[in-house]
Amino acid sequence: MKPYANRSGGSGVVAYDIEDRAIVIRFQNGHTYRYTYEKPGQFEVEKMKRLAESGKGLSSYISRIVGDRYDEKL
């Protein structure tokens, strides 16, 4: 997994992997989730990919918009 830059300094995200139709995110608590085009959807996944690469806003986006709509807990 690629370390999350955490440019805001307070993120719960520590690492991520970008896949073609999904993103896998590891949180500080050690839990890892896969978000896919099927759940929560293509728009949300592509937004999460952009936020992951920018290193800012990913944890907030997940908590405010995506919530627990992940496809799989790994």
| Domain, as residue range, for 35 | 2-73
How many domains does the chain fold into? 1
Strand partners, 67: none
pLDDT exceeding 90 applies to what percent of the chain?
Answer: 96
pLDDT tens column, 31-62:
999 999 999 999 999 999 999 999 999 999 99
Confidence of residue 8 (pLDDT cuts 50, 70, 90): confident
CB contact set of 42 (below 8 Å; sequence gap of 6+): 21
Helix (H, G, I), strand (E, B) or coil at 51: helix
Q: Cα–Cα distance between 9 and 46 in angstroms, integer?
A: 23
